[in-house]
Amino acid sequence: MSMSMSMEEEQPKSRGKPIRCRAAVCRKAGEPLQIEEVEVAPPKAWEVRIKIICTSLCHTDVTFWKMESPPATFPTIFGHEAVGVVESVGENVKEVREGDTVIPVLLTDCQDCGDCNSKKSNKCSRFPFMVSPSLPRDGTTRFTDSQGEVVNHFAYISSFSEYTVVDIANVTKIDPSIPPNRACLLGCGISTGIGAAWKTANVEAGTSVAIFGLGAIGLAVAEGAGIRGATKIIGVDLNPEKFEIGKKFGVTDFINPSDCGNKPVHEVIAEMTDGGADYCFECVGSTSVAHQAFARCRKGWGKTILIGFEMPSSQLSFSSYEVLVSGKTIMGSLLGDFKPKTDIPLLVKSYLDKELRLDDFVTHEVQFEDINKAFDLLISGKSIRCVIWMDKKFPPPI
Ligand code: NAD
Ligand code: ZN
């Protein structure tokens, strides 16, 4: 018997059967996650069961963890920035096989609808983006707790579990040679920031950029804008510590709104950019910041790109006269307008080719049982990205 055959025989032991494993379950909005044993059902048709290697915490998880009403639902398993290995696949899945390294991505890419077939969109119309408590195709869940009660999915991913089930439309196969604690970042935040600069805004060389919020998303915008040759990259953040880390990603100037006295931030930016930045990026998730960003993008050609998640009911208000006369553009950007299956493998290559810098985004690493520390670090502004390792074999280096 050949080596590969014996390996194949070993792998499918769990195939077709439920797996019991550890998951960090959130039972109530804002409460610490609890590591519990859950049962993860086998993948149905068009689904993939993934063994998560590591996952990182994005502010979007925190936003929905705090949210007491729908679209947030409880109990749930959060997490949507991750990398893992395919444990088994359901019927009709041809794109990946057991053992493949994959990044599950919250935006679906059905590769069949008008949007997925268009170069202009990453917004699948067959399975539209939703903070769904279940899987996209049949609206049911694959998680149950020790009492046999259903535990919800989050945004089709739920990576805060040793195993998760994801639709094949949410799975991107990647080159396994990228280290997992770098690959996971590409599942959401870093891809979003880079794509917002490259695809949504299409930043040109020699231009000025203002970034509101220097978390991982804002810093990735800076990285993307720098690669494109932007010459002035202004970072705006209430946390003064973000300037030092911002410099590593090419931020040239820093504004702390608390230090501006009575002068509104947008006036300070106007002075620094001769009337307004060519591109303004909202990377906080605040309507008041979105208004500041729009106020200070340059008339005539300025673009404001909204990235931060606010409560779905929040409203923006502009005078129609202002929009008409200024000629500015305001745009939303989900996952930086990247198409997961096409663009994420290119970002992996860019990292492996030493073009795209990912290393400095990871400021902390913890083991799965310490997942609540990752929340504390992000909320207190101490971390950019905290990687959470599922397997005890990987002790955090610090
Ligand atoms: P983060 O918490 O790491 O960073 C947010 C930063 O904003 C912090 O540095 C904070 O100090 C700063 N900040 C807060 N209030 C501010 C204010 N009033 N003015 C200036 N700065 C302020 O978060 P992150 O993980 O980088 O995520 C940022 C936002 O992007 C979140 O709203 C998240 O939900 C959203 N997001 C959107 C997408 C997308 O596809 N559109 C993808 C990922 C994340
Ligand atoms: Zn995210």
Determine if ligand 1 sits within 6 Å of the CB of residue 210: no
Q: Report the pLDDT value the prediction gives residue 42, as an integer from 0 to 100.
A: 98
Determine if ligand 1 sits within 6 Å of the CB of residue 348: no
Atom of ligand 1 nearest to the CA of 217: 26
Do the Cβ atoms of 165 and 23 come closer than 8 Å?
Answer: no
DSSP secondary structure of 326-393: H--EEEE-SGGG--HHHHHHHHHHHHHTT-S--GGGEEEEEEGGGHHHHHHHHHTT--SEEEEESSTT
Q: Tell me the CA end-to-end span of the chain in Å, nearest whole number.
A: 44
CA-to-CA distance for 42 and 164, rounded, in angstroms?
Answer: 9
**Residue of 58, 212, 242 with the most ligand 1 atoms within 8 Å of its CB, for mutation:** 58
Please tell me whether residue 264 adopts helix, strand or coil conformation. Answer: coil
The number of residues making up the chain comes to: 398
Å from CA of 89 to ligand 2 middle: 25
Q: Report the pLDDT value the prediction gives residue 274, as an integer from 0 to 100.
A: 84
Q: Report the pLDDT value the prediction gives residue 394, as an integer from 0 to 100.
A: 65
Q: Report the pLDDT value the prediction gives residue 264, as an integer from 0 to 100.
A: 87
Determine if ligand 1 sits within 6 Å of the CB of residue 26: no
Q: Report the pLDDT value the prediction gives residue 1, as an integer from 0 to 100.
A: 37
Nearest CA among 222, 152, 189 for reference residue 58: 189
Residue 79, both tokens: 């997490």
In the chain, which residues have pLDDT < 70?
Answer: 1-12, 394-398
Å from CA of 81 to ligand 2 middle: 6
Do the Cβ atoms of 174 and 322 come closer than 8 Å?
Answer: no
DSSP secondary structure of 25-64: EB-STTSPPEEEEEEEPPP-TTEEEEEEEEEE--HHHHHH
Q: Report the pLDDT value the prediction gives residue 9, as an integer from 0 to 100.
A: 47
Q: What is the number of the ligand closest to the CA of 266?
A: 1
Q: Report the pLDDT value the prediction gives residue 11, as an integer from 0 to 100.
A: 54
Q: Report the pLDDT value the prediction gives residue 395, as an integer from 0 to 100.
A: 54
Å from CA of 246 to ligand 1 middle: 14
Its pTM stands at: 0.94
Å from CA of 38 to ligand 1 middle: 31
Determine if ligand 1 sits within 6 Å of the CB of residue 239: yes
CA-to-CA distance for 368 and 240, rounded, in angstroms?
Answer: 30
Do the Cβ atoms of 273 and 280 come closer than 8 Å?
Answer: no
Residue 152, both tokens: 């919800």
Å from CA of 214 to ligand 1 middle: 7
Atom of ligand 1 nearest to the CA of 58: 25
Q: Report the pLDDT value the prediction gives residue 12, as an integer from 0 to 100.
A: 63
Q: Report the pLDDT value the prediction gives residue 90, as an integer from 0 to 100.
A: 97
Q: What is the number of the ligand closest to the CA of 129?
A: 1
Amino acid at 303: K
